[in-house]
Amino acid sequence: MNIESDNLVNLDKWKSIKKEDSFSEYLKVLSFNDLLNESNELAERMNKSEDESDLFSKTRLMMNEFTNRLERESKNLAGSVKELKKHLEDKLH
């Protein structure tokens, strides 16, 4: 039996995507204050170097949520956050 690899899904990759989607949806329902609290907790975890691969993903999603919310309020401030996010991603890669 010949199975084409294009039709197969990597289970670990699928789980990772679902996990990111869930966390992104979670961030969207938080109040701004709760989002700030969540970011403080994430920053504390980063300082302790806990599970770094998961933290990078969560940090990226959190920065996206901050940027999306700020774009509705202030384009200039959102631009600054986008630049900060790009700088962080460049440093981590």
In a domain, residue 70? The reply is yes
In a domain, residue 2? The reply is no
In a domain, residue 74? The reply is yes
Q: Terminus-to-terminus CA distance in the chain, angstroms?
A: 40
1 CA to centre of own chain = 40
In a domain, residue 79? The reply is yes
| Separation between Cα atoms, residue 63 and residue 86, nearest integer Å | 10
Enclosing domain of residue 88: 12-92
pLDDT at 66: 84
pLDDT digits (tens, 9 = 90+) for 41-55: 888 887 777 666 777
Give the chain's domain count: 1
**For residue 32, pLDDT beyond 80:** yes
**For residue 30, pLDDT beyond 50:** yes
Higher-confidence residue of 14 and 58: namely 58
Per-residue pLDDT band at 1 (split at 50, 70, 90): very low
